[in-house]
Structure 1
Amino acid sequence: MNYRHAFHAGNHADVLKHVVLLALCDALVAKPAPLFALDTHAGRGLYRLAGASARRTGEADDGIGRLIAESPREPLLRRYLAAVRACRETHGADAYPGSPWLLAHALREGDRIACCEVQPEEAAALRDGFAGDRRVLVREGDGYAAMRALLPPRDGEARIGRGLVLIDPPYETQLAEFDDALAAIRDGLRRFPQGVFALWYPIKLRRTLMPFQRRAADLPAKSALLAELMVRADDSPLRMNGSGLLLLNPPWKLDAALAPALEALAAILGERGARARVHWLRSPP
């Protein structure tokens, strides 16, 4: 696999993904029972936006950079920016938190986190970053295999009844990645039916996503929600025009919380043709 997230850290897709991730975490920790979180394609957990990789693309300038400059008032966006500030207070002014860092930041002492990364260098950096944090298990290997190995989640002999699975593959195989992701989610729901599953996906041509979304609606979850941000018109196959998350079994009222946040992101980060969408594939019972 050749993908390196350092080139894309802090871009519009990261902003969307991490705003939604923190909203999920905050909704889940509102209840006292312990949680388990699995990040299947975790990356290195922390990125440098002043580094050569990030500066080569400059994608963060039109993502987190633009959002910081705008100082939005919408609560979910302020929550996300507060997490980025907390990361920078510890790791420096050019630091950007990946999803493992945000999970560790948002979850509690009694919760458990597993992070899987297939690239050895990235996994080593992730392991170093969480050295001493007893909540976090880092596995080097395939993220879909980790779902089979770690679900249903346990803490020692005790089963953990609540949790979140974040699936954020690189889509190097493009649309074929959906076959692997949906198969893994179907199996994950069988193993952990009460879990919340979140699958990130890129948006180029809207029409190419229709088969994926039809199949997603048939997954054995109680409910299925799409949260999408397009920063430009979704009609060109040559670049990523936006991204979305498929959320299975999302927390109650998450859709109402996400809608104004995503509309604000479209206004701040978007070009001509930008828009946001929060749409139920299957409404909760």
Structure 2
Amino acid sequence: MNYRHAFHAGNHADVLKHVVLLAILDALVRKDTPCFVLDTHAGRGHYPLDRGEALRTDEAAGGIGRLFPITRGLPPAVARYRALIQKANPDGRLHHYPGSPLLAAQVLRGQDRLACCELQVEEAEALRSLFAGDRRVGVHARDGYGAIKALTPPQEKRGVVLIDPPYENQLAEFDAVRKALAEGLARWPQGCFALWYPIKDARVLKPVFRRMATLPAKSILRAELVVHGGDSPLRMNGSGMLVFNVPWQLDMALAPALPWLARELGEAGAHSRVDWLKQPE
């Protein structure tokens, strides 16, 4: 696998993914009972934006770079996300971007657990260094799909599995994703599963959604943010999240956030949607 998230840290896809993830986590920690988070493709957890790979692509400029200067009028879910980015940049200048493991660790409480899976040796070592001394966090240098079978169901009854693969195999990746989701939902039927996916040519995703909708989840929510108008298979025009076993009122938290993000991050033709592939029973 050649993918390195450092080239893409803080872009519009990260913004969507992390706004949704934080809304899920906030819903989970409202209850006192402990919860478990599994990040199947965790990366290194923390990325500098002012040097190295991120500076070469400058993708963050079209994502968090546009949002960070905005301090008023943000929808609550976006304000929550921006506050944690501010925490990583206390001097008010955007130098660092926290990945999903670090964002999750900042939300979780002492009774909660986080398991991070990362196959790339250097990335896994960076994660171990980042969380050294944090007994809540376990770092596993292993395949994230296999970890869904190995690490679920957890001893905690509640929690979320974040699945964020690199999609180097393009649409073929969805076959592996669906197999892992079917395994996870069978083993942990009350668990929440959140899948990120890229949007290039939106038409090719229609059969993917039909297949995903047949999985045995109690509810399935789709949240999409498209920042480039048109369908071009040569670039990532947007991205989406499918959430299985949706936390209560997640749709209400995201409904005002995504159109606002489309306006702030998008070009002509930008749009968003929050809708149900499977309504709650």
Q: Which residue of 1 aligns with 2:132?
A: 131
Cα shift at 1:88: 2.2
Cα shift at 1:234: 4.2
Q: Which residue of 2 aligns with 1:80?
A: 81
Check 1:35–1:233 CA distance in 2 against 1; reply closer, same or farther (3 A cut): same
Rounded to whole Å, the distance in 1 between the matches of 2:48 and 2:271 is 29
Q: Which residue of 1 aligns with 2:43?
A: 43
The TM-score, its normalising length taken from structure 1, stands at: 0.96
Rounded to whole Å, the distance in 1 between the matches of 2:64 and 2:208 is 29
Q: Which residue of 2 aligns with 1:24?
A: 24
* Aligned-partner residue type, residue 101 of structure 2: P
Any idea what SS the aligned residue of 2:65 has? helix
Cα shift at 1:141: 1.2
Rounded to whole Å, the distance in 1 between the matches of 2:70 and 2:84 is 16
8 Å contact 2:223–2:273 — kept in the other structure? yes
Any idea what SS the aligned residue of 2:267 has? coil
8 Å contact 1:223–1:282 — kept in the other structure? yes
Cα shift at 1:69: 2.2
8 Å contact 1:70–1:268 — kept in the other structure? no
Rounded to whole Å, the distance in 2 between the matches of 1:74 and 1:281 is 24
1:28-107 equivalent positions in 2, closer than 5 A: 28-71=28-71, 72-89=73-90, 93-107=94-108
Check 1:226–1:234 CA distance in 2 against 1; reply closer, same or farther (3 A cut): farther
Rounded to whole Å, the distance in 1 between the matches of 2:280 and 2:88 is 35
8 Å contact 1:17–1:200 — kept in the other structure? yes
Identify which of 178, 182, 185 aligns with 2:174: 178
8 Å contact 1:203–1:234 — kept in the other structure? no
Cα shift at 1:274: 0.3
Cα shift at 1:93: 4.7
Answering whether residue 273 of structure 2 is matched by residue 277 of structure 1, we say: yes
Any idea what SS the aligned residue of 1:266 has? helix
Q: Which residue of 1 aligns with 2:111?
A: 110
8 Å contact 1:44–1:98 — kept in the other structure? yes
8 Å contact 2:37–2:114 — kept in the other structure? yes
Cα shift at 1:232: 1.4
The unaligned stretches of length 5 or more in structure 2 are: none
8 Å contact 2:112–2:136 — kept in the other structure? yes
Moved over 3 A (4+): none
Post-superposition Cα deviations, 1:114-158, rounded to whole Å, max 9, x if no partner, equal 0000100000000100000000000001000111110001xxxxx
1:136-285 equivalent positions in 2, closer than 5 A: 136-153=137-154, 159-285=155-281
Any idea what SS the aligned residue of 1:226 has? strand
Rounded to whole Å, the distance in 1 between the matches of 2:200 and 2:182 is 25
Cα shift at 1:55: 1.0
Any idea what SS the aligned residue of 2:38 has? strand
Rounded to whole Å, the distance in 1 between the matches of 2:90 and 2:179 is 40
Rounded to whole Å, the distance in 1 between the matches of 2:206 and 2:70 is 34
| Overall identity of the aligned pairs, in % | 62
The TM-score, its normalising length taken from structure 2, stands at: 0.97
* Aligned-partner residue type, residue 166 of structure 1: L
Rounded to whole Å, the distance in 2 between the matches of 1:272 and 1:232 is 7
Any idea what SS the aligned residue of 1:89 has? coil
Rounded to whole Å, the distance in 2 between the matches of 1:41 and 1:77 is 23
Rounded to whole Å, the distance in 2 between the matches of 1:77 and 1:145 is 32
* Aligned-partner residue type, residue 23 of structure 1: A
Rounded to whole Å, the distance in 2 between the matches of 1:202 and 1:208 is 11
